Amino acid sequence: DDAGAVREISRVLAPGGILVASVPAYQFLWGPHDVALHHHRRYAAAQFSRLLKDAGLLVEKQTYLLCSLFPLAATVRLATRGKEVENAAAALPKVPPLANRALIGFQAAELAIARKVSLPFGLTVLTVARKPLPIHVRSRLPAVEERLAVPATAVAAASRSSCESG
């Protein structure tokens, strides 16, 4: 019950509190990797944004991540559709050290771009949302919005976590 889970997150989040969420992107990419990681669905950015907004959260930043890996991953996922094995396992192939460093470099460059503009597609949806402050608090404390700005480190930390967890 993703809607129920997000409503509960919104309920327990302090007013002005920040939620940083990373979810797998695009249901058409569903495969054994998702089963192995206990996913229940994949989301388009707009779909996940609507889920958060319906729970009363304000989406402040949303972008796809792993954009550079999307064409390869989508090709493999679509080419192997219907050939799924019963004992699904996370697809974490061995990567030679030089290729791994190059991929990490791509990820760092992509993250720098994603901090400035939202990427149009990717394997993951990263969203930063906030629980609004009550109106009576906002009207008395105009400087609070500046103090509650989303730190860039929150986006970077969420991106690292997304990359590390697959």
CA distance linking residue 95 with residue 80, whole number of Å: 20
Give CB contacts under 8 A, 24+ apart, made by 134-141.
134/15, 137/15
Instruction: For tokens 């779909």, name the residue.
Output: 47
CA distance linking residue 164 with residue 166, whole number of Å: 6
H or E stretch covering 63: strand 58-65
CA 35 to chain centre: 18
Q: What does pLDDT average to in each consecutive run of 10 residues of the chain (166 residues)?
A: 95 95 94 85 96 96 93 87 64 81 90 93 96 74 50 48 46
- Cβ-in-10-Å burial (0-12, 13-18, 19+) of 35 comes to middle
CA distance linking residue 138 with residue 123, whole number of Å: 36
> In 3-state terms, what secondary structure has residue 158?
helix
> In 3-state terms, what secondary structure has residue 114?
helix
- Give residue 80's pLDDT: 80
- Give residue 163's pLDDT: 46
- Give residue 42's pLDDT: 96
